[in-house]
Amino acid sequence: MSDKISVMIPEEEIDKRVREMAAQISKEFEGESVHLICILKGSVMFMADLAKRITIPVTMDFMKVSSYGDGTKSSGIVRISKDTDEGLEGKNVIVIEDIIDSGRTLAYLLEVLAQRGPKSLKLCTLLDKPSRRVKEVPVDYTGFVIEDKFVVGYGLDYAQKYRNLPFIGLVEELGE
């Protein structure tokens, strides 16, 4: 049996919100450039769409940090398995995250990145589950605040599946 997934945030709504966020970033950093750091793998779709809508110069890098196993529960252990290729000195860094849950991943990551001398350091997340917060994190740009439900799609996975769904979906029922 396959898993049952329902649409929580449709494609059109994501697109509209991503455009708004890109406009806000473009306005705030007018006359400058931004350096986006995509947190792999979940933020790939979000960063690609966001970057296309930003109207000021953009550079990109990728990093892999995880506090999660393959399931739906946080392990509490954070590690960097892929670091950025370039330094952050003097750059307007915006960390692009798919979802902030306990906040453990980002709290750790922001601490590490702040030590690398960026001109500014911001956090941009597509989804936020504030009710689950264990560690405080300053979020600068939020796409959607959602309740404590496990979601998939638009980059987000359940055991590496469903990243390719064009919408944010709710896992209603797990198959065998």
Residues that bind ligand IMP (CB under 6 A): 42, 67-68, 74, 97-105, 150-152, 156
Category of 155 on φ-ψ map: left (φ > 0), alpha (ψ -120 to 50) or beta? left
Minimum CB separation of residue 133 from ligand IMP in Å reads: 8
- Nearer to ligand IMP among residue 123 and residue 156 (C-beta): 156
- Nearer to ligand IMP among residue 116 and residue 149 (C-beta): 149
Minimum CB separation of residue 5 from ligand IMP in Å reads: 12
120-128 and 141-145 as β-strands: parallel, antiparallel, unpaired? parallel
- Nearer to ligand IMP among residue 94 and residue 152 (C-beta): 152
d(CA 137, CA 153): 24
Is 101 among the catalytic positions?
A: yes
Residue in the block written with tokens 């987000």: 156
The whole-angstrom distance between residue 107's C-alpha and the CA centroid of its chain comes to 13
d(CA 143, CA 171): 20
Alpha helices, DSSP H, located in 29-164: 44-53, 104-114
Catalytic residue among 85, 101, 128, 148: 101
- Nearer to ligand IMP among residue 17 and residue 135 (C-beta): 135
In the structure encoding, which two tokens stand for residue 125, read together? 């997340």
Query: In the beta sheet, which residues pair with residue 34?
Result: 58
Q: Point out the residues that are catalytic.
A: 101
